[in-house]
Amino acid sequence: MKKYKNFIFIIILIIFVVYLRAGEERMENIEELEIAVGIGYSVKEDVGGGIKYMLPINSVVYQENGVNVSTVRTGTASTIALTRGERQRKSDRKFFLGTERLYIIDEGIGRFGVTNTIDTLFRNPMVNDDGFCVICKGKSEEYLKYKIPGYDTPVDYITGMIRNAPSYNFFQKNYRIKDVYLMVGSEGRSLALPYIELNEKGVQITGMAIFNKDKLAAILDIEDSKTMNILRSDRGKGMLTIQGNERDFISYYAKCKRKVKCNKEGDKYKFIIDLKFNGDVVNNVMYKKLSSKVEVKEKFEKDMEKKIEARCYEFIDKMKSQHKADCLELGRIAVAKYGRETGVDWDDVISNSDIKVNVKVKVEKVGRGEY
């Protein structure tokens, strides 16, 4: 045994050295890389009638003097994978994928279909699955090139916007690219992503983009988005207001919980959505003595329930007649109960089924009192 000891030691040493050397070849200095932080997706119609993909990538270059530079390089080619080569030709550094935080898909791709885009992302094991995904108005390049003072890249800002959106407007937390894979691929689910716009005042979320299968079906304004988010997400937070006239209003900041029941009667499905709101009154100049009288509080709760219910029904009607898509992911619940892969088109079924909404509003705190 002792004889082999040296021999074994030498072999281990060799393996170790080879391993380290091999690693060295693949790694490069951070100054020689372009670290991608955000990727945009656009399409452009080609002269021949085909289409071309345009993929701008916003990357950060770490310089030796400590100043970070943000660059945007665009690759244009007939498929997404080919844009890589085209983009590399314009760059003096190697692209480094895996740290990107944002995927901006523009309306053009949305109308064309997002399957190709998602497929390329899904196949690549290097990409960051936790990056956020948004739909934008216009070209995605403009958003990545937009300069915000105090920020290295606009990606930081937009990512923060999506991350913190759930504190109001009943936005969800699942706008990451891994959730997009699921929303597009699972039966009974549908894709809905925040929609951002760039104007002279800056970047702003202006609503939600809803999809029919993998194609952009409609863009909802912020009021409709709010209602859809209430009906779609299991829990959300947001501000609700009843306004009589300009000097008569009450605002209520609430958390919402959703429960859905599904019943099948013959061929028709019946859904009951239970919404429970629980929150605080933050501004009240409408109901006098809200804090001291129970009847007034109950009246407010009733009024608020009626208002939310009316809004929900209005949206459901619109969804059934105009969008003809299952934006509320009700198919998911039916599939769980009655089995999947039955070859049913859930967008169609939901548009023809009976949807009922029950709303319960509860006031927890009324603040320091009314003024």
Partner 1 sequence: MKQIKNMKNIRKIFLICACLIIYVYYAAAMLDEKPIEEYDISSGFGVDLYRDGAGTVKYSIPFSILVFKGENRQYSMIKTGEAPTGAETRQNRQLKTDKQFLIGSQKIMLFSESLVRYGLKYNADIQFNNTKINDRGIILVCEGRTEDILRYKVKGYASSPEYIEGMIKNSMANDFFSREYTILNMYVRLDTEGRNLVLPYMKISDKGLEITGLALFKGDKMVNKVDVEEGKFMNMMRDDDLIGYLSIQKNSDEFMNFYGNTKKRVKCNKVKEGYEFEIIIDIKGDVIANTLYKEFNGKTKKELEETLSKDVEKKCSEFVNKMQNEYKLDCLELGMYAVAKYGRDTGVDWNEVVSNSVIKVKANVKVDKVGRGAY
Chain positions contacting partner 1, by CB under 8 A: 149-151, 156-161, 163-165, 167-169, 201-206, 222, 238-239, 241, 243, 246-247, 249, 251, 253, 281-285, 366-371
Q: Which residues of 78-106 are buried (b: 16+ CB within 10 A; e: fewer)?
A: eebeebbebbeeeeebebbbeebbbbbbb
Compute the least distance from the CB of residue 5 to partner 1, in Å. 53
Residue 249 Cβ vs partner 1, minimum distance, rounded to whole Å = 5
CB of 300 to partner 1, least distance (A): 14
Closer residue to partner 1 (CB): 75 or 194: 194
Nearer to partner 1, 309 or 370 (CB): 370
Q: How far is CA 170 from CA 161, 239, 259, 370, in A?
A: 14, 8, 15, 26
CA distances from 304 to 227, 260, 277 (A): 14, 21, 10
The residues, ordered by sequence, that sit 6+ positions from 213 with a Cβ below 8 Å of its Cβ are: 184, 347
Q: Which residue has 């480094």 as its token pair?
A: 96
Query: What is the nearest approach in angstroms of partner 1 to the Cβ of residue 164?
Result: 5
Sign (positive or negative) of CA dihedral 314, 316, 317, 319: positive
- Round to whole Å and give the CA distance between 37 and 70: 9
CB of 205 to partner 1, least distance (A): 4
CB of 232 to partner 1, least distance (A): 18
CB closer to partner 1, 62 vs 112? 62
**What distance lies between CA 12 and its chain's CA centroid?**
49
Given the complex with partner 1, which of 62 and 157 has the nearer CB atom? Answer: 157
**What SS3 state is found at 177?**
helix
Of the pair 2, 247, the CB lying nearest partner 1 is at 247
Q: Please identify, using beta-carbon distances, which residue of 95 and 249 lies nearer to partner 1.
A: 249
Q: Which is it for strands 102-106 and 94-96: parallel, antiparallel or unpaired?
A: unpaired
Q: Which two tokens stand for residue 370?
A: 């009314």
State the nearest-atom distance from the C-beta of 152 to partner 1, in Å.
8
DSSP 101: -
**Least distance (Å) from partner 1 to the CB of residue 186?**
28
CB of 253 or CB of 313, closer to partner 1: 253
Q: CA 271, CA 279: separation in Å to the nearest integer? A: 26
Residue 10: CB minimum distance to partner 1, A: 50
CB 205 within 8 A of CB 220: no
For residues 325 and 346, give the distance between their C-alpha atoms in angstroms, rounded to a whole number.
8
Q: Which is nearer to partner 1, 75 or 279 (CB)?
A: 279
3-state secondary structure of 108: helix
**Is the CB of 204 or the CB of 322 nearer to partner 1?**
204
Strand locations in 145-225, DSSP E?
Answer: 192-199, 202-212, 215-220
Give the residue carrying structure tokens 């170790």. 16
